[in-house]
Amino acid sequence: MWKKILALLLAFMLTANFLSVNAKTKEEKEAEKQANKEFKLQKKREKELAKAARKTNILKVAEWAKNGDVQAQMILSYAYATGQRVERVKELAEQWQDKVTASNEELAKNFIPLEYINQKVKLPRLYGLAASRSQIGLYVEQNFDDALRWAELGASEFDTLSFAIIGTAYYTGRGYRQDYKKAIEFFKKAGNEPIALSMLSDAYAKGHGVDQDLAKSKFYADYLKSVQQPKIDKQRQKNQAKLDKQRDKTSADDKTSADNKTSTDDKTSANDKTSTDDKTSADNKTSADDKTSADDKAFADNKTSADNKTSADDKTSANDKTSADNKTSDKKSEEK
């Protein structure tokens, strides 16, 4: 009897527990569904706000560029080159590029970081990068006001790097009045941005704006490493590819230079040989001419000598004949 009662009680408890678990799971699913719905609505609102900000933001960039802001000039050049928010005009892109090159060649060369090479960078990200450069003084003068001016522009279009820059300003008190809680809000909006993860790790370690939690601090520190490592590896690959390209170019230049030198040496050798041959030919010709002249002279001398001899012989013969004639004449006179 007691066994039956215990069995029924156990079955009742299991059934009640099963029903409560299912009910809890249903509530959790409903809550998750509601959260997803709110997330989608939030994203939709963000897109609408970003779309509204785009037109005014590019006008601000154009105005800053005209007032001499080199970063604005580079962004405007990129906008014209890629056709973002403005009509694609190659000539205008080159004009703004040349203007920056003349005043800040380093910025012009390194405007697009290596990690973004060979891809079209969206303007909000360029605003965030401009904010980062101004904040740390990279290629431009360090200026926290300029950093926030660019970060606010990027944040209006929900750029995560811009959120991180604003969070840093609140966290450090450089640009905004120090406010740890606001800083944490912006760092969490920044997603996987390394600077945001680093600051969150520091905040949890020191209890700035949050309850001190060393486990969470370590979590964000480890998460930062996992986020950074692929970028570091990718950066190394790109740097290596760049070095390989430079090496190949240098090797090709050296080969061309060597070929040109060889060609020049061959040409010089050929010219020297031709000159030598010409000189030898000239010497041979001169020698032949000299020999011919000598032969002609010898022939002339021999001829003159022969002529002189003949003349002498003729003269001797004439004298002998005259002498004989005289002798005969004398003999006839004696006989007579």
Q: Can you tell me the distance from the alpha carbon of 59 to that of 70, in angstroms, rounded to the nearest whole number? A: 16
In this predicted model, what pLDDT tens digit does every residue of 12-64 receive, in sequence order? 676 666 555 555 577 777 888 888 888 888 888 888 888 889 999 999 999 99
Q: How far is CA 336 from CA 33, 61, 324, 332, in A?
A: 183, 155, 18, 6
Residue with tokens 């001398």: 301
Q: Would the CA dihedral through 274, 276, 279, 284 be positive or negative?
A: negative
Q: What is the pLDDT of residue 16?
A: 65
Q: What is the dihedral of CA 268, 272, 274, 275, to 10 degrees?
A: 130
Report how far residue 184's alpha carbon sits from residue 171's, in angstroms, rounded to the nearest whole number: 8
Number of CB atoms found within 10 A of residue 71's CB? 25
Q: Give the Cα separation of 155 and 53 in Å (integer).
A: 10
pLDDT of residue 134: 98
Single-letter code of the amino acid located at 2:
W
* Residue where the block lists tokens 């785009």: 54
The pLDDT of residue 50: 86
pLDDT in tens, 212-266: 999 999 999 999 999 887 766 666 677 677 767 776 777 677 677 666 766 666 6
Report the distance separating Cα 74 and Cα 96, nearest Å.
Answer: 7
Q: Is the pTM of this model over 0.75?
A: no
